[in-house]
Amino acid sequence: MAGSEFQPLAEIEIDDVKPERQGFTLTGSGPDHAEYRLDVHFEMPLDPRTRTVLGELLSHSDLTISRRAPGSLTAALRARRDRAHQR
């Protein structure tokens, strides 16, 4: 992520990691005391050992969710539109 192009939306401390069929569901709370959930899906099967290791790593992690600043998003969409019209 490049410096000022992205704005942090939430910093989340992971409280629980629940294994799912092809990934994990992470839940946690942010400094705003809101509860957050993130679903992580893998397009490949995970063997039991990999699932255990990933679950343990994710349970000791924090997440920062960021988004592109609105002005940058508008510029990116315009550039994409302009490239499409040039074809």
pLDDT of 2 above 70? no
Q: Rounded to 5 degrees, what are φ and ψ at 4?
A: -80, -5
Question: pLDDT tens for residues 47-70?
Answer: 999 999 999 999 999 999 998 776
- Domains of the chain, by residue range, sit at 8-86
With cut-offs at 50, 70 and 90, classify the pLDDT of residue 38.
Answer: very high
* Nearest by Cα to 57 from 9, 24, 10: 24
Q: What is the pTM of this model?
A: 0.68
- 10 Å CB burial of residue 34 (0-12, 13-18, 19+) is exposed
